[in-house]
Amino acid sequence: MIYVFYLLLALAVIYLSLKLSYYVDLLDKTTNLSGAFLGGVMLAAVTSIPELFTSMSSVLIVRQPDMVMGNILGSNTFNLAVLGLLILFSLNKFRNSTISSSHKTTCFALIIINILLLVAAYSGLSFNILGVNIVSILILVIYVISIKTMSSSNDDQNEENSMTTDLSTKDIMIRFLIMSILLIIASIAITYATDIISTKLNLGVTFAGALLLAVATSLPEVVSSISLVSKGNINATMGNILGSNLFNLTILFVADLLLVNGSIFTMTAEANNLLMLGSMATLAITCVVITKFKSNNLTKKLSYSVYALGSIVCTTSYMLFLVLNR
């Protein structure tokens, strides 16, 4: 019965996240709000709401702080695996697409944060400010700087506002709020379900977080990204997944702020594997993005090779984690 409950909750998270994304898109198409902010920042944050509240409930309710790191790193590695597959099976679309330079900023921010996590994991850095680890504070600072940089990007592409609606801006915001509340409830419930399943299957909490919770909470990004790629919107796909990964890492600051005793940077073997493999996938996708901006100076064969190799690394990173932690 618990498995059926978990499946229903996962479906609810997908549905509610897609509805939230739809309302964000409505705001983008029917108001004067910045498209870069709504699409690259707000949409990414919206699809990461499950990770935010499952991580909060892992600390406050389930009291399994190990699940936070497994949830965040597992979701990010899974997201990059999905992005790798999407690029791999749409190489022509990817090569011929135009993407925003803000994606480079996001990739570099992700690399810096991964380096900070590696330092925290292997040096035992525990310097706190008002009870919050310095690494968590630096992650928040990097996120704020990255968002400011992305919001000031001048290379946003103008798209036709083809969407019409009878809803007013107030109506859209009210529906957005209602869906957000429902998503919070579903996210907290799925944390309980994951904890029960991990106990029944005798899995480590970090592995459970990476395999069950992370996959379920990443499904909104997966579904929306597949839809966007099918429409040829590679730029939005990149922004959704990379932006979600950046937001996910910032959740570590929130979890650290809420954690009274212990540290979310206490790394188990599974979390270490996720961190190493996730960092490798992040470097791979960064190489793909940089190559995309240099493609005019590269031969078609070379650029395709880099795209394919980077995508394969991203995809196999998560598969390798599953193999190592069976």
Nearest one of 155, 67, 135, 114 to 246, comparing CA atoms: 114
Q: What are phi and psi of 221, to 5 degrees?
A: -65, -40
pLDDT at 17 over 90: no
Residue with the bigger pLDDT between 195 and 306: it is 306
Instruction: Lowest mean pLDDT of 42-51, 134-143, 289-298, name the range.
Output: 42-51
Q: What is the mean pLDDT of residues 41-70?
A: 78
Taking the model in full, what pTM does it have? Answer: 0.83
Mean pLDDT, rounded, of the chain: 82
pLDDT band at 305 (very low <50, low <70, confident <90, very high): very high
Sorted by where each begins, the domain ranges of the chain are: 2-150+167-324
Q: What is the mean pLDDT of residues 309-321?
A: 94
How high is the pLDDT of residue 28?
65
Residue with the bigger pLDDT between 245 and 167: it is 245
Nearest one of 251, 235, 278 to 79, comparing CA atoms: 278
Decide yes or no: CATH 3.20.20.70 for domain 2-150+167-324. Answer: no
pLDDT at 87 over 90: yes
pLDDT band at 214 (very low <50, low <70, confident <90, very high): low
pLDDT in tens, 156-177: 544 445 556 778 888 888 998 8
Would you mind telling me the total number of residues written for the chain in this entry?
A: 326
- Residue 243 near residue 41 (C-beta atoms within 8 A): yes
Q: What is the mean pLDDT of residues 105-125?
A: 89
Task: Report the C-alpha gap between 111 and 114 in whole angstroms.
Answer: 5
Give the range with max mean pLDDT: 51-55, 104-108, 120-124: 104-108
